[in-house]
Structure formats: C-alpha cells, structure tokens
Structure 1
Amino acid sequence: MESEKPHYLAPLDFIKLSSRYIQKGLLFTKPTQSFSIHDFLQDLKESLSLTLVHFYPFAGQLATRVDEPNHECLIYVDCNKGPGVKFIHATLDSTISDILSPTDVPLVVDSLFDHHKAFNYDGHTRSLLSVQVTELLDGIFIGCSANHAVVDGTSYWEFWNMWSEIHMSKGKGVSKSRLPLYQRWFPDGFGEDNPVLLPFTHPDEFISCVEPTQLRVRFFHFTSKSIQRLKTVANLETDNGNISSFQALSALVWRSVIRSNTVCHSQITNFRLTANSRHRLDPPLPKQFFGNCVSLLKITTTAGELLENSLGWVASLLNKSIVNHNDKEVTDSLKAWLEAPSIPKHGILYDSNSVLSSSSSRFDMYGNEFGLGKAIAVRSGYANKFQGTVAAYPGCEGGGSVDLEICLPPDSMTALESDVEFMTAVTLSRLRRENSPAEEVISD
C-alpha cells in the first residue's frame, strides 16, 4: 500500500526544514442550544480519522538516514512510525470579544495552537499535524499546526476543506478528483524516483533561526469596493492596463510599510511574494498536488523610487515579476538548488527594508463549517511572524474582500495607522466598530 511506503520529500519541501509549522485556525460562535462539547469532539475526531486516510503522511514522522563517509543525509516521512496526529481539547476563560476586539492581536491567540515555536525539523520527534480545539466562554476555536516541510498553504487548506466536507457529510466519501496526489515533481534531468540527499550529517549544520524583535500584529480589512478603487487607480497610472486587485493592494502595502519604517531613500527595498507554482509549470501540476510547490519572488527597487513614483508604477513592478514567473523560471531555480542543496536560515529574509507577503485570500477558509455554522474570523499562531510580514486572508463577508495581517515594530505600526494613503483604503470590521470610539472608524 502507498501509505506504508516512505514519503520522500521534494526539493521545495526541504527548503522549509528550518522554518516553523503552519499555524492557522478558525473562530466559531458556540451554539447556544442543545450543544454538547463532548459529542462535538467525538464527531470531530471521527471525521478527522476518516480524512487522514487520504492525508496519511500527516500521521507519520520525519526520519533521517545519515551517510557519514559521504557527509550526506536523507530526510523523509516514515508513514509507519510516529505519534500520529495529536488532538487536544483546551478551555480558555475568554470570550470572542477578547480575541477580536483589541486593536492588536492579543498574545493569548498564540495559546490556541500546539507546537509553539517548533521548527519543521522537529517533526522527527513531534507530530506532523496537531489539532487543538479551544472552548471559549461563547466560542469554539479550531487551530491546526501542520509541518511546513510536508505541506504548503494550498495543500494545508485542501486538508481543511476535505475534513469539513467529510464531517458535514457524516463520513460519506469524497470525489476522487479531490483526493491528494503524492507524486513528486522534479525538473527535467533529475529523477523523481531518486531521493534527494542533503550535504549535511547533523541538524546543527542547517537548522538555525533569527528570532523576531518586539512586534505589534494587527489585522486590516479591505472591502471589495476599496480594493477595486485601488485597482482602477493603479491601471490609470500605468500603460500596462493589466494590474490585478492583488497587485494594486500589494503595491499600497509595500509603499506604506516602507514609509512607516522611515527607510532611507537610497536604500534598496524588496517585496518578496510566495507564489503558488502549480499552474505555472508546463504541464501544470494539479491543485491536489500534496506538498510544497511555492516559489519566492523578489521585486527590488529603492525606497526613493518606491515612494516618489505612483501606485501604478509600483504595481507594474509586481505585475512584471508575476507575469515572468513561468515554467522556465521555476525549473531553473530548482535545478540550481539540486546542484547545490542548501537550507535557508529561518528569519534571514526579514528586515526593516523589506516586505514579505504570504498566504492567499483565494484559499477557501470560510467554507469550513463542522456543524458550527460559518466561522467569524481566521487567526494565526506565533509561527513565521517577523518585521514586515503580511499574510492575506479572505474577508469574512466574501465578495472579494481581504483581511491583511501585518507585523511591524510598535513605532512602525503606529506610523502605519497614521498613514493617510493606507488608512483611506482600510475599513474597520463590524466587531471593531462596535468596540471602538467613533473617531477611530475609517470608512471607504
């Protein structure tokens, strides 16, 4: 059986070994009538078990074979070994308002996730997937911590979507077209059947981390109307005419964050973007490809050019990089890595001169219900938050709205909150409006 064989990691999986787990979760309102937390947990465990039949690598554990004479090692998922998937029930003497109404994301949100500060390499001793269900006074939070060397955001949310579908259908089967595909992808000239050997014999040679400085973490809400207005302005300011909503919003964020960080105008600034490469390959990989297939794009200019030119000019830089992100660019990058494998230090890409955008507002997050109705918010854990990181989520109301989770030092966040260009595009959420002074409300 496939589930009994080793699950060999692909090149783009190894790059994540020194970073942290994916930690995302959904907040639900607790039903007020005829709700039994015991019955809910039992049903959730049952549907999770059925889902793991299809996502069996999550139940395994990372393993390493070391070849000392050749100074190499092979890291893979042993699907027949490990603690299995961890399931935790926790209680918290807090309310939904405690989680959502503060301006900044409160530190208590970190406690809603397991595997706090764990590296993906720690999957040798920790579970590759941990589910924590936290019962609030008036809500339920379901948080999943998944090993990022095993899945990227696309595969992560595909797992959530199938789990929800199986739960809501009371264990009925899912379409074969939805099942994860465990093929490994390699550029031409490199064998899929040959495991990748890393030039290391000890984790100290490649597992290292730059810890983040003190940060404020805040969600900013953009309505579809506001984003459409940004897109229209960006396209009017450039001859390109093909600027997307995402590119216009990203251009606004890049300009605003660099301005808030008071970066010297001669300083080089980068906008780094994690891009799903499945559909960029020729032939393309299916959406159900299980693993990591994400490329990191880097767009570079000076802070002066970024701030002195128009929103459309900045959006055009992003557009050009995204358009040029094709099969050749992806395969050339992977071929170069395979010829000299390396593991980047976690946090090395983050600095006061750059922005890194991850996650996607296109992921189906709010379609996961588990019998609790639609979630009212998405939140993330401690993992992978540094100065200048921006994570995109769909807005709860749908319709093309977007929530951005932005991490900045306190002084920079205060400056961003006073940035006229940025805050003109922001709309406070309903809950924030209900719990904020009237003068703080910014409408579009």
Structure 2
Amino acid sequence: MTAPTTATDVNQPSLEHAPPTGRRMSWPVLLLVVAGALALVSIVRLVTGADGITNVSQMSTALQLAVPIGLAGLGGLWAERAGVVNIGLEGMLILGTWFGAWAGFQWGPWTGVLVGILGGALGGLLHAIVTVTFNVNHIVSGVAINILALGATRYLAPLAFEGHQGGSAKQSPAVESLGHFTVPGLSDALSDLNGKGWFFVSDVAGLLGGLVTNVSWLTLIAVALIPATWWILWRTAFGLRLRSCGENPIAAESLGVNVYKYKYLAVIISGGLAGLGGVFLSIVANPFYLEGQTSGRGYIGLAAMIFGNWMPGGLAIGAGLFGYTDSLNLRGGSANVHALLLLGALLLLIGAIWLAVRKKYVHAVITLVVGALVFAWYAGTNEVPNQVVSATPYVITLVVLALSAQRLRMPKADGMPYRKGQGK
C-alpha cells in the first residue's frame, strides 16, 4: 500500500474505503453468477434425480458445517491483514473446543462460549508474542501452536473430564444446548416449495430454507461477524491503521501508528474468532468436546480465506462451499457426489469455452479433456467409493485454490519480519 503523505491521512478511513486494488465483481454481476450456478445445479438435480443436493436438510447441515470453517477463516483474515500469517488456526480451534466444553458443562453454555473465546485468544496471544516480539518465523510458530494445543488438551482432558458422568479421557460430559430457532411460517413454506422439485425455484427455496430452519443462536452471531469485520476493517480509522500494518508497517510507523499494538490486537482477535469456531464444534455441532473433532477445519478455514482473496465476503462464499461439500459425508454422500461429477463436467466445459474465447487454446483443450474424463467417470458408474466422498472437501479445497491462484492479492507485508524503527 502506498504510504499516506500526512499523519492526518491515517486518521481518515475514507481514504481507504475501497478494498485492495484489483478487479472485483460488482454486486449485480455476483448475483448473476450465483443465479447461474444455482440454475446449473438445478439442471443436474433434474437430470440425475439427486434431490438431496439442494434440499432444506442438506443446506441446513451445510450451514452448520460452514460456521467453524468461516470463523477460522475470519480469524486468519484479521491476523493476515495486520501482516501476521496464522497457520496456528487449527490449534486455536482445538483450544476453543476444549475450553468451551470444560466451562460449558460446569457453568452453562454461554459461559462456555466466553471461556472458549478466551482459550483461542490465549493461543493467539502466544502466537503474537513469538512472531511479533521475538520475530520467529510465522509458519514455524503456527505449527508449534497446533502441536502444543493438541498435546495440552490431551493432557488436560483426563484431569478435567474423568470421573464426571459421560466424561472420559477423550470426551467431556454433555453441555446444555444454546438453543435453536426456526422462522415460523416461512420455514414450512420454503420446505413445501423445495419438495415440489421445480426447476430453479425449488433449489432457491432449499437454500433459503436452510438459513431459517433449526438455526443456532451462535450461527446467527457467526454470520453477523462477517459484515461486522468488513465494516471495522474498511470503514473505521482503527481498521485502516491495522491494515496499514499488513501493507507497509514502516510507513505506518512513520505516521505514528503503534505497529506492535495493532499486530498484537489483530492476532489475539484472530485467536478469539478461531476459539469461537471451536466452541461451535463442541457445544452446537456436538454437545461435548471430543478429541480430534476439529478434523483440519482450521486449515480449510485458511484455504477459505485465501479463496476469498483476504476479503470477508469472498471468505463467506468459500466457507459455504467447503461446508456444503463436507455435508455430503452426512447426507446421501455417494449419490450426491456422483451427481456432482456431472456438475463438475459441465463447469469444466464452460471453463474450456471461456478460455477459448480468451484465446488460451492450450488451457482450453486441457480443461476440455479433463471435463471429458470426469463425464466418462459419471457416465460409467452409478456411485462413487466412500473414500472419494470423505476426501471431497479436501479435493475441492485444492481445486478451488488452484483455480483462484491467478487472481489472489495478499497483503504486501504479510509474513514479513518487522522491527520497530527499522525504517530509520
């Protein structure tokens, strides 16, 4: 980011209302893309008969699975916007699951939420001390936190949970529910409309029905954090200063910004958000802590953040995509994944046409060949192995990152070492 020329510039968020430079979709174009994607999914549903890919239950499950991924990604966004790479999101998720369940079964679920956030923030504080104060490599610190969190919770779980009803060395006692809500009338109407199987309309009804049926209050909070993050980071002086630390900390320091303070705040908030994602796993998704329940969601959250180009809106779309593919494991996985092979083939065909229009003929031919192979797989089988179903979220993660790599623009000073006064 080009350094502002006066100190007053840092105090005026209007100078940086726009996100980082680069081509962005306008809202009308984005809505058209989403509508086109839904229409394509609807065609696949009608051709394959896999009604489960867009029903209300599938979408509700996808939303539930997307929340911890989105919260982890949001935590990564806060840290990296301040210039600190946070590979330790998985460990902070683990700390959130353990602390949330530990406090939740003793003092109630909302206390568990607060303590889980503090547990994740503790991991963030440790990461900040190691990377910001002692200038240790960010990747090394993050990996160490993941290992430390896993080891610490394995040590603490038997001490805290054994001897309590339902508790063991690997599982906490049950935690009371935070409660769920369903929008009366609207939920039933959308479910009925979804059940009619109409082209496009029923698919939209299934998507919207999943957002208003059996939704946890913590889900509502998590969704609200997406626009809240955008407003804080792109519409306030605090956010401008924080982002300047991730773009050009030397220029920010020359204008009076306490770079260390903002980096510390960003990484602690990052850990707290990841901790909240862990709380969701151990109180909402499951009413107890269970060793290994994060299942790599911290890493997928990091992938969602990168897919979203370090922006909250793109991150939310990425988390939704990964949550949806993860939900295939729980509801009609084999049949739904088999139907998605046809969707993948159609998307690759569209991609090949687009590349040909842009005169990238070699890429277009390769894409077309891959699409033909995927279609042959779909046409030659009636189902896919369970191993493929289980691996789908991770495969989608790799494919999405590979396809989006050309348009990514990370903060310029992300992961770079910084020492106070180094610009003098």
TM-score, normalised to structure 2, is 0.25
Higher relative contact order (CA 8 A, sep 6+): 2
Q: More helix by proportion, 1 or 2?
A: 2
Q: More strand by proportion, 1 or 2?
A: 1
TM-score, normalised to structure 1, is 0.24
